[in-house]
Amino acid sequence: MFEEYLTRLEQWRNENLYREPMVVSNRQGKYVDIGLKRLINFSSNDYLGLSSDQKIKDIFVRNFEKYPVSSSSSRLVCGNYSVVLEAEKRFAKYFGYEDCIFFQTGFQANLALMSTLFLDSHEIIVDKHIHASTISGLKLGRVGFKTYLHNNLSHLEKRIKSINNKPCWVVTESVFSMDGDILDTDALLRLKQKYKFRCVVDEAHSVGIMGDRGIGVASGVSDIMVGTFSKAFGFFGAFILLPHVIKEYMFNFAYPLIYSTSLPPAHAGIAMDILNIVEGLGDRRWYLKELSAYTRDCLRELGIRFTGKSCILGIHIGDEDVACKVSQELVNRGFMVFASRYPTVPRNKAILRISLCYFHSEKDISRFLSQLKDVLYEKGILK
């Protein structure tokens, strides 16, 4: 009855692209429990180590006691709570933008923004390694777009030169979710001043951990910024920082905003409380920077090929089957590391995505890298 689906799944499996998520029974700090096995987690985006912190749990309880647990309607009907507007104002001021809109997830934020912002008269140029949520939003919006080579601003300039003075938007990330490399904001700003385009920057993996007070790295160049609560903030939901007129426009034309139940009002209270905490975590931001530099030095010393200059590091594997086997062998040895495969990354360019968090120590890194090196030798990646 469902044979065509079984056939497609079989084909996917034969290409070593089949997915089956591990079942997590619990997670606390650096540990993740898979069945009876406790692993050190190098896959989480809980960069500042906030999500299982008792202080954050207390903030949750306090805010959820104050308000109904659901908004029970979209923002456009009766789900537009004053506490949400207060939080949006607070976030806009903190990050240095005119206004802000909260969303249920980062995926939905990008879906709403990308499907609404662009008009037929616009040229849109997007980094090739942009997140799937951005691409999904662009496809939903049905305005054609071009891509430029990943993080290659000379190629971006070539693209811009070829577009005949049409209003142009450039869409990129500040810290790339898989490669972990960082946008050259100064170079992008120089191009922006020269060619007068507008910029959307997804800062999902930099807010909270990079820039002054964790404001990210691209505020000098981005007209619109997308941030998530689901990573360094240890929480869920997302926010878009934008000009007021675009907020007004989205409330009128963005279907994922108009036709979806808004976040519970407690979420906004929690977001403001967490922002106060994040502001004071300069020591954790500094520690993460040092830990990332330490890990990169170790990887270089071991001769392991990688990308990334942030808390995210991508270890080159290539073959999808090998990537899964390396990841499984690391699980057997007590470490959770995600094998990222097509379509998340290009075909035959599978990586192990390592994310470093505040709760990792240099000792954890050394133990992990020593096992990684052995497994890479065993699988013929290191020679």
Ligand X SMILES: Cc1ncc(COP(=O)(O)O)c(C=O)c1O
Residues that bind ligand X (CB under 6 A): 105-107, 110, 131, 133, 173, 177, 202, 204, 228, 230, 238
SS3 37: strand
* Beta-carbon contacts of residue 128 (< 8 Å; ≥ 6 apart): 147, 148, 149, 150
29-35 contacts at long range (C-beta below 8 A, 24 or more positions apart): 29/359, 30/357, 30/359, 30/360, 30/364, 32/336, 34/331, 34/336
Of residues 118 and 298, the one with the C-beta less far from ligand X: 118
| Max Cα–Cα distance, the chain, nearest Å | 62
Of residues 206 and 304, the one with the C-beta less far from ligand X: 206
Of residues 43 and 295, the one with the C-beta less far from ligand X: 43
Least Å distance between CB 204 and ligand X? 4
Of residues 261 and 371, the one with the C-beta less far from ligand X: 261
Please provide the size of the chain in residues.
Answer: 383
- Using left for φ > 0, alpha for ψ between -120 and 50, and beta otherwise, residue 28 falls in beta
Report how many helices (DSSP H) and strands (DSSP E) the chain contains, helices first: 13, 15
Least Å distance between CB 48 and ligand X? 15
SS3 280: coil
Least Å distance between CB 230 and ligand X? 4
Of residues 225 and 304, the one with the C-beta less far from ligand X: 225
Least Å distance between CB 132 and ligand X? 8
Least Å distance between CB 107 and ligand X? 4
Give the tokens for residue 291: 């830990």
Using the Cα atoms of residue 177, residue 345, residue 372 and residue 330 in order, give the sign of their dihedral.
positive
**What is the C-alpha separation between 150 and 183, in angstroms, rounded?**
10
Least Å distance between CB 361 and ligand X? 25
Sheet (strand 238-242) strand order: 99-103, 238-242, 224-228, 198-202, 168-173, 123-127, 146-148
Is 331 exposed, middle or buried, given 0-12, 13-18 or 19+ CB atoms closer than 10 A?
A: middle
**What is the C-alpha separation between 253 and 249, in angstroms, rounded?**
6
Of residues 125 and 232, the one with the C-beta less far from ligand X: 232
Least Å distance between CB 71 and ligand X? 18
Least Å distance between CB 65 and ligand X? 25
Of residues 201 and 375, the one with the C-beta less far from ligand X: 201
**What is the C-alpha separation between 142 and 273, in angstroms, rounded?**
38
Helix (H) or strand (E) holding 288: helix 282-302
Of residues 43 and 71, the one with the C-beta less far from ligand X: 43
- Minimal CB distance to ligand X: which residue? 106
Of residues 94 and 103, the one with the C-beta less far from ligand X: 103
Least Å distance between CB 178 and ligand X? 8
